[in-house]
Chain A
Amino acid sequence: MNVFKKTLTAAAVTAALLPVQAVQAGEVEVLHWWTAGGEARAAAALKEMMEEQGHTWKDFAVAGGGGEAAMTVLKTRAVSGNPPAAAQIKGLDIREWAKLGFLTSLDDVAEANNWNQLVPPVIADVMKYEGEYVAVPVNVHRVNWLWANPDVLEDAGLSVPKTLDEFYQAAEKLEAAGVIPLAHGGQPWQDATVFEAVALAVMGPEEYAKAFVKHDMEVINSALMEEVFTEFAKVMSYVDDNAAGRDWNTATGMVIRGEAAMQIMGDWAKGEFTAAGLTPGEDYICAPAPGTTGEFTFNVDSFAMFSLSDEENSEAQKDLARTILEPEFQTVFNKAKGSIPVRTDMDMSGFDACAQASMDTFKSSADDGGLVPSFAHGLATTSYVQGQIFDVVTNFVNSDDKDPVRATDQLAAAIQAAL
Chain B
Amino acid sequence: MEHIQRHPARVARASSRLLDGLQRWLPKLVVAPTFVLVGIGIYGYMLWTGVLSFTSSSFLPVYDFVGFDQYAKLMSNDRWLTASVNLGIFGGLFILSCLLIGVVLAIFLDQKIRQEGAIRTIYLYPMALSMIVTGTVWKWILNPSLGLEKLMHDWGWTSFSFDWLVNSDMAIYTIVMAAVWQASGFVMALFLAGLRGVDSSIIRAARVDGASLPLIYWKIILPSLRPVFFSAVMVLAHIAIKSFDLVMAMTAGGPGYSTDLPAVFMYAHTFTRGQMGLGSASAMLMLGAILALIVPYLYSELREKRHD
Contact = CB atoms under 8 A, between A and B. Distances in A.
Q: Do A and B bind each other?
A: yes
Interface of A: 66, 68, 71-72, 75, 78-79, 93, 96, 100, 186-188, 240-245, 382-384, 386-387, 391, 394-395, 397-400, 410, 417
B144 interface: yes
23 contacts: A66-B272, A71-B59, A71-B272, A72-B271, A75-B59, A79-B60, A96-B59, A241-B166, A242-B143, A244-B254, A244-B255, A245-B166, A245-B252, A245-B254, A383-B274, A387-B272, A391-B79, A391-B257, A394-B254, A395-B257, A397-B255, A399-B168, A417-B77
B257 A394 contact: yes
B268 A398 contact: no
B245 interface: no
Given A96-B59, A384-B274, A186 B78 contact: no
Interface in B218-251: 251
A417 B73 contact: yes
B159 interface: no
A384 B275 contact: yes
Contacts of A71: 59, 271-272
Contacts of B252: 187, 245
Nearest to A414: B78
Enumerate the 4 nearest inter-chain pairs by beta-carbon distance, A residue then B residue, closest first.
Answer: A398-B256, A244-B166, A398-B168, A387-B273
B274 A382 contact: yes
Contacts of B139: 245
B34 interface: no
Nearest to B73: A417
B280 interface: no
Contacts of A188: 254, 256-257
A395 B79 CA distance: 9
A116 B77 CA distance: 42
| Centre residue among B58, B61, B256, B269 by max chain A CB count within 10 A | B256
Contact of B76 (A72, A78, A397, A417): A417
Nearest to B62: A100
Nearest to B267: A68
Contacts, number: 88
B131 to A, nearest CB: 17
A388 to B, nearest CB: 9
Contacts of A72: 271
B49 interface: no
Contact of B268 (A100, A186, A387, A400): A387
A78 B59 CA distance: 12
A398 B274 contact: no
Size category, B interface:
20 to 34
Interface of B: 58-61, 73, 76-79, 139, 143-145, 163, 165-166, 168-169, 171, 251-252, 254-258, 268-269, 271-275
Contacts of A398: 168, 254-256, 258
B145 A242 contact: yes
B274 A245 contact: no
Nearest to A72: B271
Contact of B58 (A96, A240, A410): A96
A414 to B, nearest CB: 8
A96 B274 contact: yes
A66 B73 CA distance: 27
Contacts of B77: 417
Contacts of A384: 58, 273-275
A391 B78 contact: yes
Contacts of A240: 145
Nearest to A245: B254
Nearest to B165: A244
A241 to B, nearest CB: 7
Contacts of A75: 59-60
Contacts of B171: 244
A183 to B, nearest CB: 12
Contacts of A245: 139, 165-166, 251-252, 254-255
A241 B144 contact: yes
Contacts of A387: 268-269, 272-273, 275
Nearest to B149: A242
Contacts of B143: 242
Nearest to A102: B60
B254 A186 contact: yes
A243 B272 contact: no
Contacts of B271: 68, 71-72
Nearest to A66: B272
Contacts of B166: 186, 241-245
Given A78-B60, A241-B163, A186 B274 contact: no
| Centre residue among A241, A244, A399, A410 by max chain B CB count within 10 A | A244
Given A93-B274, A187-B252, 20 more contacts: A68-B271, A71-B271, A71-B272, A79-B60, A93-B59, A240-B145, A242-B144, A242-B145, A383-B272, A384-B273, A384-B274, A387-B275, A394-B255, A394-B257, A395-B256, A395-B257, A397-B255, A399-B168, A417-B76, A417-B77
A232 to B, nearest CB: 14
B273 to A, nearest CB: 4
Nearest to A185: B254
A80 B269 CA distance: 22
A270 B69 CA distance: 45
A75 B271 CA distance: 10
A186 B145 CA distance: 14
A384 B274 CA distance: 6
A224 to B, nearest CB: 23
A382 to B, nearest CB: 7
Contacts of B258: 398
Nearest to B59: A96
Contacts of B255: 186, 244-245, 394, 397-398
Nearest to B79: A391
B288 to A, nearest CB: 23
| Centre residue among B76, B139, B165, B255 by max chain A CB count within 10 A | B255
A399 B168 CA distance: 7
A192 B77 CA distance: 19
